[in-house]
Chain A
Amino acid sequence: TQLLEQSPQFLSIQEGENLTVYCNSSSVFSSLQWYRQEPGEGPVLLVTVVTGGEVKKLKRLTFQFGDARKDSSLHITAAQPGDTGLYLCAGADLWTGTASKLTFGTGTRLQVTL
């Protein structure tokens, strides 16, 4: 069974601070996605990383996929209250017969205060 552990589980920071969220597994994934979910809504895809060592930047968000394709990180620079939400990583494994399902991480709940 593939598992994705996220850390920290909860993070409360002030506006303007930087933060990093980690997503770790003992399994290899063919791609990894990051989502943000707000209360009462479905997850919204932020980014997909597919190559080991890949780094993607989306404005103040930087995503990295580990060289071994087992881990990923999300770094937010100068956090804003609008960044508040539940951040989920999710791995896909195209190399097995059940390629399309995603294994979701345990989630990191971020709160950014003024």
Chain B
Amino acid sequence: NAGVMQNPRHLVRRRGQEARLRCSPMKGHSHVYWYRQLPEEGLKFMVYLQKENIIDESGMPKERFSAEFPKEGPSILRIQQVVRGDSAAYFCASSPLRDGYGYTFGSGTRLTVV
């Protein structure tokens, strides 16, 4: 079984551009989570999605950030008009159930805003 696949691994964007981060969950996992890790900090929850539904977006910044998990294809985390403070590692995780068990993380996308 392939694990959680994230791409790209590294992404460089200039201030004001858009960043699109992709996440394909493990086979059989219908629950997807996005976390952000700032340098020298722990992981912070951003959003929890199931197919075609946003279940919990309490950790998402109010502006410029959006996420989707369409019926077909990967989950997308989209950051519009990026700023330097968006530079971080963004991790996606998936699980088979909503009970918080069985989390599997991807290798992350490292976003650098220049």
Interface residues of chain A, those whose CB is within 8 Å of chain B, are: 30-31, 33, 35, 40-45, 48, 88, 90, 92, 94, 98-107
Contacts and interface: CB of A to CB of B under 8 A. Distances in A.
Interface stretch (B40-48, B64-72, B79-87): B40-48
Contacts of A99: 98-100
A100 B95 contact: yes
A105 B95 CA distance: 20
Contact of B33 (A48, A101, A103): A101
A106 to B, nearest CB: 5
16 contacts: A42-B91, A42-B107, A88-B42, A98-B58, A99-B98, A99-B100, A100-B33, A100-B98, A101-B45, A101-B58, A102-B33, A102-B35, A102-B43, A104-B45, A106-B42, A107-B41
Contacts of A92: 99-101
Contacts, number: 73
Interface residues of B, number: 28
Interface of B: 4, 31, 33, 35, 41-45, 48, 55-56, 58-59, 91, 93, 95, 98-101, 103-108, 110
A87 to B, nearest CB: 11
